[in-house]
Amino acid sequence: MLDGAGYGVAIGHHGELVQGLFEDDGARLRRALVSLPCRQLRSKASFSASDSDHVSVLPAPRDKARRAAELTIASFGHPGTGGNLAIDSNIPVGRGMGSSTADVLASIQAVLDWLEVEAASDDVMRIAVSAETACDSTLFKQQAVLFAHRDGIVMEAFRRPLPPIDLISIDTTPEVTVDTLEYEPARYDALEIETFRPLRSLLRTAIKHADVRMLGRVATASARINERFLPKPGLDEIETIGGRFGAIGIQVAHSGTVVGLMFDALDPNAFVNIDGATDSLRRSGFVPAIFRHGHPWRQGAA
C-alpha cells in the first residue's frame, strides 16, 4: 500500500446521550460522555505520499485532520514523511455532530492503511485527543462506552451496543457555530455531580437490557443539566411535541446546537409517530430532519 493510497472512514454522531463528570477507578472525577452514533453521517479520507516533508490537506482548512495524519506518521512511520490528505464529509460543522472527530479518525485510519499497520484502539484515541484536545467515542462501533473525551480513555465499556433509536433532529440555532475548543467546559455544581452517579447506573442498566425508555430518561436528564451551560431555544416545546407522539426522550449536543427527539426504532408505530411529530414541529416553525436507524438520511417525513 505504501506506493498507493490509504483509505479511512469514520462516522459522525448526533450529540450525546449523556455527558458530565464521572468517577474513574481511582475515584478521580473525569469529564466523560456517551455519543449517539449516526451512521448516515460520514467522513472519508484518503492519504498518499508526496515528495514534500509535510502533509497537505484538502479541502482546507482541516488542521485537526492534518495534525492527526502527522502524528500517526510520527508514531508508526517515519517522521517528516510528507503526503496528500483528502477529506470528503457530509457532517455539518459547528453543530456538535462530531465533524472534527470523524475527520481526525478517518485521517488516522487512512494513514494506517497506507502504512499497512493495525493499531490498537487506545493508540488511535491517544492520537485523536492529541490532534484535537477532545474527541468523541464514535470509534467504538460494536459497543457503547463511557469515554473520557479529554483524556482519550474508556472509563466503562458497557459490552453491548446501544438499542436502535430513530431520531428527529432540530438545529435550534442554525445561525450559531460552536467551536468546541473555544467553548468553556461546563462547571457542574455539587448537586449536578452527585446526579451523574445514578444516571450512570441507569445508563448501564438501560444498555444491558436494551431498555430504550430508560435510556430516554437518562438522555433527557443530561440534556436538562446542560441547559444551564448551553441552552437550546425551544427545548420545552420540542419535548412537549415529542411527548404527544410517543418520543422516548430528548438528547442534545452538549457543545453544539442540535436537539434530538428519540423514538424506539422497534416500535411498530414509530413511523407514524415520527411523521406526526415532524409535521407538528414544522407548524411550530422548526426545521426537522429525520435519521432512521439503519435507513438512509433524508429530510422530511416518509
Judgement on whether residues 149 and 231 belong to the same structural domain of the protein: no
Question: In sequence order, what are the residues at sequence separation of 6 or more whose Cβ sits closer than 8 angstroms to the Cβ of residue 34?
Answer: 16, 17, 18, 19, 137, 144, 145, 146, 147, 203
CA atoms within 13 A on the CB side of 292: 17
Separation between Cα atoms, residue 111 and residue 2, nearest integer Å: 10
Tens-place pLDDT, residues 58-111 = 998 899 999 999 999 999 998 888 999 999 999 998 899 999 999 999 999 999
Tens-place pLDDT, residues 209-263 = 999 999 999 999 999 999 999 999 999 999 999 999 999 999 999 989 999 999 9
> Is residue 260 within 8 Å of 14, Cβ to Cβ?
yes
pLDDT above 70 as % of the chain:
94
pLDDT above 90 as % of the chain:
76
Whole-Å CA distances, 224 to 58, 140, 195, 199, 273:
38, 26, 12, 12, 23
Separation between Cα atoms, residue 127 and residue 106, nearest integer Å: 12
Judgement on whether residues 10 and 120 belong to the same structural domain of the protein: yes
State the pTM of this model.
0.90
In terms of average pLDDT, the best of 27-41, 146-160, 213-227 is 213-227
Predicted local distance difference test score (pLDDT) of residue 174:
87
Judgement on whether residues 174 and 290 belong to the same structural domain of the protein: yes
Judgement on whether residues 175 and 260 belong to the same structural domain of the protein: yes
CATH number of the domain at 98, please. 3.30.230.10
Confidence class of residue 299 from pLDDT cuts 50, 70 and 90? Answer: very low
Q: What is the sign, positive or negative, of the torsion defined by CA atoms of 37, 294, 91, 52? A: positive
Domain residues for 286?
A: 165-299
Q: Which residue has the higher pLDDT, 152 or 228?
A: 228
